[in-house]
Homo-oligomer: A and B are copies of this chain.
Amino acid sequence: MYIGADYYPEHWPRNRWETDARLMKKAGFNVVRLAEFSWVMLEPEEGRFEFDWLDDAINVLGRQGISVILGTPTAVMPAWLARKYPNALAVQNTGQRIVWGLRKNNCFTNGAYRLLSERITRAMAGHYHNNPRVIGWQTDNEINGPHCYCDTCRAEWQDWLRARYGSLQTLNQAWGTHFWGHFYQTWGEIQTPTHEHHNPSACLDWRRFNSWLNIRFQHEQVVVLRSLCPRHFITHNFMAFGTTQTNPHDLAMDLDVAAWDNYPVWADPEIKYGAACGADLVRSLKKKNFWIMEQTAGGGGWDVLNRNPRPGEIRNIALQQVAHGADAMVWFRWRTCTAGREQYWHGILGHDGKPGRRYRECTATARDLHKLAPLLANTTLKPKVAIVYDQDSRWAFETQRSYKNNEVPAAIRRYYDAFFRAGINVDIIRPSDPLTGYKIIVAPELFVLPDATASKLCDFVRAGGVLLTDLRTGVMTETCLAHTHTLPGLLTDMLGITIEEYEGLNGDKQTYPLAGTDAFPGTFTSTLYADWIKPGQAEVLARYDAWHLKSHAALTRHRHGKGTGYYLGTIAAEPAFYDALIKAVLDSAKLKPVLAPPPGIEITLREGASRKLLFIINHLEQAVTMKVPAGNVELLSGRRTGPSLTLDRYGAAVIRLK
């Protein structure tokens, strides 16, 4: 198993490198990522390349048995590039060109920038394709280029639209430019949507276009790397749900394996749902296990310091990712940088370079991972539940939230967290993914719903699946025009309901009591949004307890074909509501967890041809004793399990199930 750190030899004196390499080896490390911010060191002036220092560093590391992933260094343009090609810097929606001095600041339609990026990639690939220590490449870094509003971006945007729509008539129709008399008569009239209140169809396409620009940029590097380094794998370090500039599924298509950067340590310690959910998304990008390319090794922060990981938490965070399918673990960063904007972003070592608590915890974690590695091989998660994540819907909501602070990732988490608490693993899929193999599909706020996707969801239920969908689903066509059918549109028969009216609940204290039924007991609180559901054939599971909504439903269930469709028209304030709902959904699908976890405990199952590894992770700051399947081997301790097991604070167990 690859275990290591993000390393910046160029930050430290040459005579420190051996010390670092020896300390890494001692920690059980066998891989580093190098050079992803080193363009100016590798090409100190235009066209002159210098690889000696990097060769040297790779050699020093190699002597300790450490392999190397190289980053294409295009996330930060050299100062000389900005000076010689000022148009390479992006223009903000204020009209001001970005002043050089940060990172990720380039315009993606600037020809010079694209050519120079391709050339440095080619030079590196040419130099390192035979280096035995180099095993793979990371493209750029956390790709999420700024939206640029310069003239060439506007020109390419017009070209992109011309290619997409063919004629202005089609575009006018697709964007509904009859509204406010916004018809275009020449392509040249189309502006970049600088304002959040510009036409929402244009705003959605603008996001698609910008995502496409990022992907094209990566593709130009991938073409070079594939041709020159056929033996190396290509990856990219995603931010999971942390950025919206790029459609992650599209960006992943060019890669061999996905990786991500996991930083779950912020405010008070809490159960790490978000890190789990991010991992499940990244695993779904290539439908296989993934790398952690940057793993939390200390407190972060650019301006303000975050809290420090608590004793045991570094291992907890790492094991959680492995439990969700990580097959490699690279901590960020080896040593805390003494200069620049990330002086507060702490690595395994502090500024002083001395191995301390965090080094010891990483070392212990590496030991555990190496111990597990042989059994982890060829295992992954095989969930029966999938949650649909739709980038288009997320983008569309960015300019039309529907209700206050609405964001698709938060919508997903309402259900995701309940599955987590129930001990059920899930995939995060895109709408176009096949649904075969899943027993439950959850589609939260599938705002942009093309007819084909709607039909697919109906087919899934008809064939015996359980679908749970909710508010705002099916409102928009693919070009962000409101559908003209009564909601939920093509899902109507399947869900057995109609929704003629709905509303945002925007007042700070505007809520409705939410009353369950015998089939779904309890009293809850409806917040933020309410569909006024007419339950036609559907069973009503919960209602709004308000005089004017007595005949409407808030939560319904409907048998359709061999399956069941659930619809939730509001947002409940209480996690217990979602626990009850997910329990009902699981019952409908006759699904059960391998083990029902106590609160604060996470359960995942990695399976391979011949084995099942049950990960049990304690996210609490106190020890927990729980029942486990007796008579199995707990791999970290090597001990046989009795009927119960005690997990330390932040502790973990990996039980090989018979």
Contact = CB atoms under 8 A, between A and B. Distances in A.
Given A185-B80, A306-B504, A307-B510, A484 B338 contact: yes
A526 B400 CA distance: 41
A179 B337 contact: yes
A44 interface: yes
Contacts of A185: 44-45, 79-80
Interface string A185-211: 110110111111111111000000000
A194 B99 contact: yes
A635 to B, nearest CB: 26
Given A73-B181, A181-B73, A510 B267 contact: yes
Interface string A308-327: 10110000000000000000
Looking at chain A's contact residues, the main secondary structure is loop
A39 B306 CA distance: 50
B305 A402 contact: yes
A317 to B, nearest CB: 15
A194 B98 CA distance: 9
A529 B336 contact: no
Interface string A382-411: 000000000000000001111110100000
B299 A503 contact: yes
Can you tell how many copies of this chain the complex includes? 3
A454 B509 CA distance: 44
Contacts of A80: 185-186, 189
B339 A305 contact: no
Interface centre among A83, A196, A353, A649 (most CB of B within 10 A): A83
A511 to B, nearest CB: 9
A39 to B, nearest CB: 5
A101 B338 contact: no
Interface string A17-49: 000000000000000000001111100110000
B101 A506 contact: no
Given A343-B200, A532-B308, A184 B351 contact: no
Given A180-B340, A510-B307, A99 B191 contact: yes
Contacts of A305: 402-403, 502-504, 506, 529
A277 B202 CA distance: 39
A42 to B, nearest CB: 9
B339 A201 contact: yes
B195 A102 contact: yes
A621 interface: yes
A339 B179 contact: yes
A506 B267 contact: yes
A133 interface: no
A106 to B, nearest CB: 13
Contacts of A510: 267-268, 307
A305 B404 CA distance: 8
13 contacts: A44-B185, A76-B181, A79-B189, A80-B189, A83-B186, A101-B182, A177-B340, A266-B507, A268-B510, A305-B506, A308-B501, A352-B486, A354-B500
